[in-house]
Amino acid sequence: MAGSYETSGEYIKHHLTNLVYGQKADGSWGIAHSAEEIADMGFWSINLDSMAFSIGLGVLFLWFFRKIAVKASVETPAGWQNFVEMLVEFIDESVRGSFSGKNDLIAPLSLTIFVWIFLMNLMDLVAVDHIPWLASMIGIPYLKIVPSTDPNVTFGLSLAVFALVLYYSFKMKGAGGFFAELAFHPFPKFLMPVNLLLEGVTLIAKPISLALRLFGNMYAGEMIFILIALMYSGGWILGIFGGFLQLGWAIFHILIITLQAFIFMTLTIVYLDMASQESH
């Protein structure tokens, strides 16, 4: 596939471009077929591939877990039921170790975040050319299959977590307690402007760091796969070497995709624990 592009830059750019739907410069609505059309569509465009794969993987997660729950057996658990039970126990232990309060939402939320992000990250192990090539056969110009390499997706996840942090901060501490936490710590009260600045930056940094950490690691991993794929167009010797590199990176990347899902989940638990602690 890399050989079908005039330059390596075109190949890389194509594989890092989303399938975007929005309003074109002439006022019509449709799918962008060039970088110029994507730029003209502006902020209110939609990355169709990110939406489709993220929602599809979420539905797959719900369907699979429901199927296991319906067929669950207490007397003779086996197969996928054992795997799901081990995963639930792992999430439960993580929540117990990081969340000091009592909230029935935290464990299901943590399980959803971990599995959903893991599935989105797992798409990075699919060969970079196969699905986009099949899509091009039916006229789809661009297709990115890893939703977590799209900052719109990672920021969507982190902003949802941030909304919960604000909700529980107001619920548990009240508006006055939450403001006092921002305005009167860590320095004395007469330095309230400094406290507000420092604590405000700390608060805003939470969703930004959550989103950029996941996006940056997955984007870098996808870029390495694309660069390795370019080696297949350099002859059979370079192609064989690229095959070994791709296998090695894929094995190592399994750790990365799991770790990134775990980090996002753990930080979510910690942030919600901090928000749920009553102000004194």
* Residues with active-site annotation: 209, 213, 217
**Six-digit token string for 136:** 């091009």
**Six-digit token string for 31:** 């799918």
Which phi and psi angles does 21 have, rounded to 5°? -120, 135
The dihedral over CA atoms of 263, 269, 275, 277, expressed in degrees to the nearest 10, equals -130
Q: Is 117 exposed, middle or buried (0-12, 13-18, 19+ CB in 10 A)?
A: buried
Q: 117: Cβ–Cβ under 8 A, 6 or more apart, which residues?
A: 148, 157, 214, 260, 261, 264, 265
Give the single-character DSSP code of 21: E
Q: Angle, nearest 10°, between helix axes 80-98 and 236-276?
A: 50
Which phi and psi angles does 68 have, rounded to 5°? -65, -40
Furthest C-alpha separation in the chain: 71
Nearest to 65 by CA among 89, 90, 92, 83: 83
In this structure, the number of other CB atoms found within 10 A of the CB of residue 171 comes to 11
Nearest to 144 by CA among 2, 208, 49: 49
In this structure, the number of other CB atoms found within 10 A of the CB of residue 167 comes to 12
